[in-house]
Structure 1
C-alpha cells in the first residue's frame, strides 16, 4: 500500500485546524465586518497563533499571499476565468487591471459544487509611481463572493487577490466587470450614443477644456436625477444658462445640469432617482447650438470625466466552451512561449477608446508584454492547468513559473510510454533532487510516463499518484 507523504502532513495540520476554526467562527467573521482587519489578515493572524506559520505549508501560504500582489496577471475588463486550487501547494492568484474614477468594479467568484472552501478575495489600488504596499479597497470571504466597489481615481491600477484557506482544493470561476456609479442616464430615453462632445474637448480655440459631456436631444426632453439626492442650487449663469446642481446621496459628488430650457426643481428639494429636474434646451453660451444637456460631475478635487459614471454596464464574458481541464496535466504539441498575459486576446467589445483610462490599459499591457517576453518551452513539456481565459490556458510549468499558453498548443498528457520501476521511488513535487516528496512507490510498480523536463520524468502511478522522478 502506498501512502502519500503529503497525506501525513495533511493529517498533522488537520489536528491543528480546530484552533483555526475557533479563531474564524461565523460569529467572528460577522464581527470582522466592523473591525479594521480584513478577513484575510485575521486568518493569517490565526495561523500564527496556532503556530502553523512555522510549518512548511503555513509559510508557503503566507508567501503566496505576498507573491500574488507582486506577480499579478494583467487582464482587461470584462474578464472571466476558471481556476483551480491545489491543496498540496498553497497558492494565490493575482489579477491587475485598470479602472477609471466613477466606475463600479463588480467582483463575482463562485466555487464548484463539492468545494466548500473558505476563499479570501481582496481588492487593492496601486497609485502611479508610488512605493509601498497596495492600498486595500474591499474584502470578502464567503463560499460565494459577490461585491462591488467604486474606483475613486483615474489612471491607477487595481489588484485583486484570490486565495483559499489552507488545504483547500477545488475549482472556481472568477468574473470581473464594470458598471456605472450612476443608476440612470441623465436624459430620459437617451444612452451613450447621444453624447456628441466628450470630456477634454477644446473650447474657445483651445483656451480651455470641456469639463463634462454634451448629451443631444430635442428641446423639451426631460432631464432626470441620475441618482437620489438634494438640489443645492438652481440658477442662471452666462455660460451654463439655466443650471441645476444636485448633491448625490450615495456618492461624494455633485452633478451639474446646464443649458436647460426650463428648471422644474428648487434649491433644498429632495429628489429621487429618475425625478425630472428640467427640460433640455440651449440657454447660456449654447444659444447658437443644437439643444443639448451639458452634464458634469464634480468631486473633492474638482471636475471629473462623467463618462465612467454613465457608461453602460459591461457584463462579464461567458464561460469558455470545451472540456474543463483544470487540475489536469497537458503537454505541449510544439514549442510555445509561457506568456505573462493573454496578449492575443481581442479587446473587449463595445468599449470607447477615446478615454485616458483605455489608453492607460493599452499602454500597461504593451509595456508588460515587452518586459515579460517569454522564452519558448520545448515540445512535450508537461504543464499543470490552473485555469482558462478564452483561448488560453493558465498553467504552471515544471519549474513553478505561471502564465498563459494557447489552448491550441497543448494536448492531453496521455502516456508516452509505460514501465515498471526498477527500485523504490519517491515522487517529487518538481523536477529536482531537492524537491519535496509527495508519494513513495515500491519497486516494480507499473507507472506511465506523461512527460519529461530537466532530466526528470513526470510519472503517474496505479492509484493516480503524479510526481517527478529520475528514471
Structure 2
C-alpha cells in the first residue's frame, strides 16, 4: 500500500498551475531569453519552477531540496550497476549514485521508464573531487529527447549521476551504469583477453618498468588503428623494432605500436579506426619471444599511461533484478531483529544502523536481491530483500487508551486525516519507537503516537 502524504484536494490545483507553467515556459518571450543562456535541461526546468512561483509551494520546495540532497547523499556503487525503482508523484525524490571511472574509459548511463504518465527524467553527471569540499562539478547531461548519456572521463576522480523526474509525475525507472573503453582494440579479431603482459611489469631485471601492454596473436595478424588520427612516425629502433606512432589529435595523446613484422603506413597518413597499420611480429628486443604487439599510450604533458583501461571492454554484465518489484513504492516492515541497513547493495558495504524487528520502511528501488528503502525520517539505505515482509498480516489489534490523531506521516507535525476516539480498535501494521503504522476498522491507514496504544 502507498501512504499518500500530500492532502488530495491540493493535488489538482498544483497540476493546473504546473500546466500553466508549461504553457508559459514555451512562450516566444521565454524561448528568446533562452537563446542567450546555456542551461542544462534540469536548470531550465528549475528556472521555470521559480518563474511560475512553484518554488514557493511546499511540493516545489521539496523537489528542489531533493535534487540538492541527492548530490550530497549519492550511493557508492561498483560498475556495472543496474537498479529499478519507483518515483512517487506525491513525494518528490531524486536518486544518485557515486562511482570511480578510470582514465581511458567512458561512462554510459541509460534510463528506461514506464507508467501511465511516463515522467521526463533529468540525467546529470557530476565530477566530485575528494580534495575539495565544493559542490560537485557538472560535466555532462542527457538532452530532453534522450534517456542516456556517454562521457569520456578526463581524470580518475569520483563521479556521480543524479536522476530526478519532473514534478507531479510518477513512474517506474531502470537505470544502468556501465563503462566502456574510449579506444578500439588495436589487434584485429582480438580483445583484452589476448593481453599477457601488463603495465608496470619489471623489465631488464628491474631496471625499468613496462610502459604498455603486450597483446599476443599469430604472426602477420593485422595491427589496426585504435582511433582516428595521423601517423607521425614509421621507423625502426633497437628496443621497439619496427614501430608506428599514431597521433590522437582529439585527446592530445600518441599511440605507440612496436615489434611489428611489417609497417603498412607512411608518416603524415590519415587513418580511421580499424585501418591496418602493420602486421604482428617480434622485431626489436622481442625476437626471442612469440609474436606480439607492444601497445603504449603517451599523453601530452603527462607521459606514459596505462593503456589497458583504454582498450578493455568488460564482459561483466550488471546483475538482473531478483527482488520483487511489486513492492516498489509500498511500505513494508523489517522481518528480523538486528537487521543491518547498509550504505550500498552489498554485504560488504558500510553499515549505517541496526534496525529492530517490525520497523516500517518504504521500498524505493531494487538492485539484484537488495532493496533500497527509506525510513519514516527520510534516511535511506539498502538491505537484503529477504529481510522485509508485507503488511497484509497485522502484528496485533489494540484498543486506544486515549483519543489520538491518525496522521499521514510519522511526525507530530504531520497533518491529521481524522481523530480516533479513545477505546477505538486499530490493527498495528508496523512499529517504530514514537509512532506506529496502523489501520482502523474502515480501512484508513496512517500513523498514531505509540503512547496512545501502549
TM-score range, shorter chain: 0.7 to 0.9
Q: Distance in 2 between matches of 1:227 and 1:77?
A: 25
Partner of 1:468: 447
| Residues 118/458 of structure 1: CA separation in 2 closer, same or farther (3 Å cut) | same
**3-state DSSP class of the match of 2:60?**
helix
Partner of 1:428: 408
Does the alignment pair 1:127 with 2:129?
yes
Partner of 2:353: 375
| Residues 114/299 of structure 1: CA separation in 2 closer, same or farther (3 Å cut) | farther
Partner of 2:321: 320
Higher mean alpha-carbon deviation, 318-327 vs 62-71, is at 318-327
Give the deviation of 1:308 after TM superposition.
1.2
**3-state DSSP class of the match of 1:7?**
coil
For 1:301-340, list aligned pairs within 5 A.
Answer: 301-314=302-315, 316-321=317-322, 323-324=324-325, 325-335=327-337, 336-340=339-343
For 1:73-92, list aligned pairs within 5 A.
Answer: 73-92=75-94
Partner of 2:435: 456
- Aligned length in residues: 440
**TM-score, structure 2 normalization:** 0.87
CA contact (8 A) 2:70 2:95 kept: yes
* Unpaired stretches in structure 2, ≥5 consecutive residues: none
Q: Distance in 2 between matches of 1:389 and 1:162?
A: 16
* Unpaired stretches in structure 1, ≥5 consecutive residues: 346-364
Partner of 1:169: 170
Q: Distance in 2 between matches of 1:408 and 1:163?
A: 28
**TM-score, structure 1 normalization:** 0.84
**3-state DSSP class of the match of 2:7?**
helix
Which residue of the other structure, out of 342, 346, 358, is the alignment partner of 2:345?
342
| Residues 18/234 of structure 1: CA separation in 2 closer, same or farther (3 Å cut) | same
**3-state DSSP class of the match of 1:136?**
strand
Q: Distance in 2 between matches of 1:78 and 1:45?
A: 34
Q: Deviations over 1:185-237 (max 9, x none)?
A: 21122222221111122233333322211111232221111233322222222
Partner of 2:41: 39
CA contact (8 A) 1:177 1:314 kept: no
Q: Deviations over 1:364-402 (max 9, x none)?
A: x6xxx2xxx333111011111000111211001122110
Q: Distance in 2 between matches of 1:147 and 1:286?
A: 42
CA contact (8 A) 1:111 1:143 kept: no
Does the alignment pair 1:385 with 2:397?
no
Q: Distance in 2 between matches of 1:463 and 1:36?
A: 54
Q: Distance in 2 between matches of 1:438 and 1:92?
A: 27
Give the deviation of 1:83 after TM superposition.
0.9
For 1:215-364, list aligned pairs within 5 A.
Answer: 215-248=215-248, 251-300=251-300, 301-314=302-315, 316-321=317-322, 323-324=324-325, 325-335=327-337, 336-344=339-347
For 1:121-200, list aligned pairs within 5 A.
Answer: 121-140=123-142, 142=144, 145-154=147-156, 156-183=157-184, 185-200=185-200
